[in-house]
């Protein structure tokens, strides 16, 4: 069994308690102190007996904690947090403010194996998956310093469905009423289109919101910028999403990074409208954010508005997401860009 208590669900903590001949009520102490009070050591869970705490320590159980290395502040209110794991890996998380509502953008991997060309993290390559404890601790650490967040989006470093088990366990922990009690409709998991993961998500009892990084209305466009789309053509992705929506009834968000002279033409807007119109969905148009080593240019504001107008005329709910946190390299697609600059 996993020895990091922060990575264990309520049911798994019950197993740990039973193995040490403890009463079921001790699970509530373990869970709430870790996931509500954010304790960093077993010694801090004082309602537990010293004997039980010593037994857990002797058995190798511990409570993981990320080390905060640095924070960055953008004039628009965006904050970026750089964390270090126990084995020396680094990751970034972002806090966004919108009308005083805080959204935390958290990471699921160190680096990413998807290799999307418009994303700095994808150019770093893949180091390892984050554990469930490391995923939720981003939320706990940021909230400790900035207050309660209203929304959680799995849109930071890494592909969430490529680290499926840890991602979904972390969703369960963040949603648990004895922990942070974040409503499941306020948690969004984003994927660039891993159909096996979407199929698994379809069958989950707990259903976070689903966002799809689409970025192109046809295979030729997608395959030139998203490595994974060479294995998962649009037809396969749409089929998986149709099964997901038919089974869950949940709305889907399509994310579309606007790159000048690449995927921003009115014709491509019409293609996109035809592609997503059969779904209960909305489209987020995201202004491309530059980073060193990438030659793409952001579509013009006028071009983005024209693209949005085409979608809206077709009845597609569309939101334009302009730059947030760009001055601190915290905008969409920029996480890890500072490290990429040092290594290229």
Residue 332 among the catalytic residues: yes
119: left (phi over 0), alpha (psi -120 to 50) or beta: beta
pLDDT digits (tens, 9 = 90+) for 152-191: 999 999 999 999 999 999 999 999 999 999 999 999 999 9
| CA dihedral for 273, 275, 278, 282, sign (positive or negative) | negative
pLDDT given for residue 222 in this prediction: 94
Summarised one tens digit per residue, pLDDT across range 70-103 is 999 999 999 999 999 999 999 999 999 988 899 9
Ramachandran angles phi, psi of 173, nearest 5°: -65, -45
Q: Each residue of 137-153: pLDDT tens digit?
A: 999 999 999 999 999 99
Whether 92 is a known active-site residue: answer yes
The count of C-alpha atoms lying within 13 angstroms of the C-alpha of 258, restricted to the half-sphere facing its C-beta, is: 25
Q: What value does the mean pLDDT take over residues 232-236?
A: 95
Catalytic residue among 92, 172, 255, 287: 92
Burial class (CB in 10 A: 0-12, 13-18, 19+), 160: buried
Q: Is the dihedral of CA 133, 137, 139, 143 positive or negative?
A: positive
If one counts every other C-beta atom within 10 angstroms of the C-beta of residue 34, the result is 28
**Ranges of CATH 1.10.150.530 domains, the chain:** 5-58
For 22-78, how does the pLDDT look when each residue is reduced to its tens digit (9 = 90+)?
999 999 999 999 999 999 999 999 999 999 999 999 999 999 999 999 999 999 999
Tokens of 214: 């689409």
Distance between CA atoms of 256 and 285, rounded to whole angstroms?
Answer: 5
Q: Please, where in the chain does CATH 3.20.20.70 lie?
A: 67-343
Catalytic residue among 112, 132, 294, 332: 332
Fold of 67-343: TIM Barrel (3.20.20)
pTM: 0.96
- Contacts (Cβ under 8 Å, ≥6 apart) of 231: none
Q: Rounded to whole angstroms, how far apart are CA atoms 244 and 189? A: 14
The CATH architecture annotation of domain 5-58 reads: Orthogonal Bundle (1.10)
Would the CA dihedral through 179, 180, 183, 184 be positive or negative? negative
């Amino acid at each position: 069994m996993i020895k990091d208590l922060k990575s264990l669900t309520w049911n798994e903590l019950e197993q740990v308690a039973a193995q040490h001949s403890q009463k079921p009520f001790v699970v509530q102490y373990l869970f709430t102190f870790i996931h509500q009070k954010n304790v960093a050591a077993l010694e801090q869970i004082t309602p537990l007996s010293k004997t039980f705490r010593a037994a857990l320590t002797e058995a190798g159980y511990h409570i993981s904690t990320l080390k905060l290395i640095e924070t960055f502040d953008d004039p628009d209110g965006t904050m970026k947090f750089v964390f270090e794991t126990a084995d020396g890996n680094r990751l970034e998380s972002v806090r966004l403010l919108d009308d005083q509502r805080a959204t935390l953008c958290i990471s699921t991997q160190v680096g990413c194996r998807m290799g999307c060309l418009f994303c700095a993290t994808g150019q770093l390559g893949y180091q390892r998956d984050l554990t469930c404890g490391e995923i939720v601790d981003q939320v706990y650490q940021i909230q400790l310093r900035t207050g309660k967040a209203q929304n959680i989006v799995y849109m930071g470093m890494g592909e969430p469905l490529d680290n499926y088990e840890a991602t979904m366990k972390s969703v369960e922990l963040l949603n648990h009423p004895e922990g942070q009690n974040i409503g499941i409709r306020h948690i969004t998991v984003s994927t660039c289109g891993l159909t096996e993961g979407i199929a698994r998500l379809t069958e989950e009892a707990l259903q976070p919101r689903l966002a799809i990084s689409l970025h192109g209305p046809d295979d030729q466009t997608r395959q030139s910028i998203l490595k994974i789309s060479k294995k998962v053509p649009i037809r396969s992705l749409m089929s998986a999403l149709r099964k997901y929506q038919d089974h869950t009834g949940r709305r889907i968000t399509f994310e579309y990074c606007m790159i000048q002279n690449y995927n921003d033409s009115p014709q491509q807007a019409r293609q996109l409208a035809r592609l997503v119109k059969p779904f209960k969905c909305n489209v987020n148009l995201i202004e491309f954010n530059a980073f060193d080593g990438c030659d793409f240019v952001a579509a013009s504001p006028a071009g983005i508005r024209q693209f949005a107008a085409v979608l809206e005329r077709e009845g597609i709910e569309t939101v334009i997401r302009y730059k947030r946190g760009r001055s601190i390299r915290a905008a969409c697609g920029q996480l890890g860009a500072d490290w990429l600059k040092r290594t290229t």
